[in-house]
Amino acid sequence: MKLELGKILIHDICFAEKSEIRDGVLYVSKEELEKIVMQEEGIQSVSFDIAKPGESVRITPVKDVIEPRVKVEGPGGIFPGMVAGVETVGSGKTYALKGMAVVTAGPIVGFQEGVIDMTGPGAEYTPFSKTLNLVMVCTPVPGLEAHDYESAVRLSGFRVAAALGELARELQPDETVVYECSDLKESFEKYPGLPRVAYVQMLQSQGLLHDTYVYGVDAKKILPTLLYPTEVMDGAIVSGNCVSACDKNPTYIHENNSVVEDLFAQHGKTLNFVGQIVTNENVYLADKERSSNQTAKLCRMLGLDGVIVSQEGFGNPDTDLIMNCKKIEAEGIKTVIITDEYAGRDGKSQSLADADVAADAVVTGGNANELVILPKLDKVIGTLAYINKIAGANAETLREDGSLAVELQVITGATNETGFGRLSAR
């Protein structure tokens, strides 16, 4: 499987009468995009705004972050099973709009959404303070069920991102990166002396509004399966979950998975990157056992020497993480797990809800309970009406001076468990 990823560098975003990309500037027609969003019957209205790095802007409640891409050559289309067909993607040629993102926002249905600050201390914790953000704030039709509203916003975000990506179809990329992964027999013959390594990615899938989709299929309904890593670059995995903002994987992070990027960088040099196994996170013990059994089986079948396992979320999924680690290690395969911590505001509490001696190589994305003060900013895109309800906040979060006293848990991407951030620990 070979994918050429062409990078179209976006240096600015402006509103205009016609949507186009010219000289590195993305011109956006609100009217054109509104027509796309309003295809969804569950959305009553939508507004668009732009947030740029360094501006005194706060975006909340954040639902998803999406990088626009377009399939230029090869089978399938971007976001297969969601807005494109279900052909297998990951080969041919894809263009990505780099340096910008589509951010979806709107009223929350529970308590697990996020905040992106474009400046100040909060900006230091989110990777999306560094992107040019086109924010779409969606209002639901009155009386709409929560999960139907979330579905409408999700699909609208993908359609808008796909439409913006389409603007780059005839452009020449500023940079092209080639990703190539061989079939198993070929890769074993090509790199006989290198350790065979795979990536096991755990996807959040613990019930309603805790959804992740693989080719449009809710991950709760899958058994662990093997993908070419390039498939996720075409949007084969997308976010649909409303879990804690700090360690959820927005669609943007699936498209730009740090573990995949780093393994490709070492492929053929220090290791043989065999493939990517995706598995789910479950509620019931029998389901956890089933998925972890199948994950370990796939690792054994692939003849692996090492595995990197990344988690999404915390608490209950810690059990899935440790089960995967223990069972893969029991097959004689070395594991490294990537997680984050909920160790209390003083950092002295137990970091994970489960543990085992087999988990002796751990990378952490930081302590989500760390308390930070976010100063009042000049502009809010969205609303602060829900800020005291977001996971990691409390009734006293919004202070009289307009500042916020929050845990890192509220900041989108702050302790991301693919390493797509700046926090770690030794």
- Known catalytic residues are 242
d(CA 238, CA 253): 9
What would the DSSP string read from start to end of 37-49?
Answer: HTTSTTEEEEEEE
What would the DSSP string read from start to end of 59-113?
Answer: EEEEEEEE--EEEEESSS-SSBTTTB-----SSEEEEEEETEEEEEE---SSS--
Q: How many CB atoms lie within 10 A of CB 175?
A: 10
SS3 383: coil
d(CA 55, CA 53): 6
Instruction: Identify whether the C-beta of residue 386 lies closer than 8 Å to the C-beta of residue 397.
Output: no
Distances (CA, A) of 130 to 83, 117, 176: 27, 10, 21
- Within the chain, what is the greatest distance between any pair of CA atoms? 66
SS3 150: helix
Nearest to 217 by CA among 89, 66, 82, 88: 82
Q: What is the C-alpha radius of gyration for the chain, rounded to an integer number of angstroms?
A: 21
Reading phi first (left if > 0) and then psi (alpha if -120 to 50, else beta), residue 385 is in alpha
Nearest to 5 by CA among 90, 101, 82: 90
SS3 11: coil
End-to-end CA distance of the chain: 37
Instruction: Identify whether the C-beta of residue 230 lies closer than 8 Å to the C-beta of residue 199.
Output: no
Q: How far is CA 259 from the centre of its chain?
A: 12
Pair of tokens at residue 115: 């905040």
Instruction: Identify whether the C-beta of residue 41 lies closer than 8 Å to the C-beta of residue 145.
Output: no
